[in-house]
Amino acid sequence: MQTALQEVKRDAEAYLTEMNIPTRLVEEMFSTDPAEMRNLTRPELEAYRLIGLDYVVREQRAQQMAEEHGISREAYEAFRQELNHKCTIFTGLPEPMLLRVSQVAERHGIQL
């Protein structure tokens, strides 16, 4: 029984590693009494990276966008950060937002 449980634990750790999720979740899962099971809180879900985009996927997308626009990864990050900073106030206002996006893109030498 113990060996089978250890094998399940190893498989779970391998899967979480493959998915870029902290393997400490396995310890949490296996140390919880079945009678005490509960849903994870939002902060726990965030800490285990179970919600939102995985950081590896996010980085791959950023690298792809930089390449598509013919700029460095660092230049793309500066562009992305300025967009986030300058455009957030226009949420729900498509025309002013498009104008601001165009201005920021032009400032960074990016063709939209």
Question: What's the pLDDT score for residue 35?
Answer: 92
Question: What's the pLDDT score for residue 1?
Answer: 64
Average pLDDT (16-37) is: 91
pTM above 0.95, yes or no: no
- Give residue-wise pLDDT tens across range 42-98: 999 988 989 887 788 889 999 999 999 999 999 999 999 999 898 888 888 889 889
End-to-end Cα, the chain, rounded Å: 60
Task: Give φ, ψ of 51 to 5 degrees.
Answer: -125, 150
Question: What's the pLDDT score for residue 57?
Answer: 85
Pick from 4, 2, 24, 1: which is nearest to 13 by CA?
A: 24
Question: What's the pLDDT score for residue 19?
Answer: 87
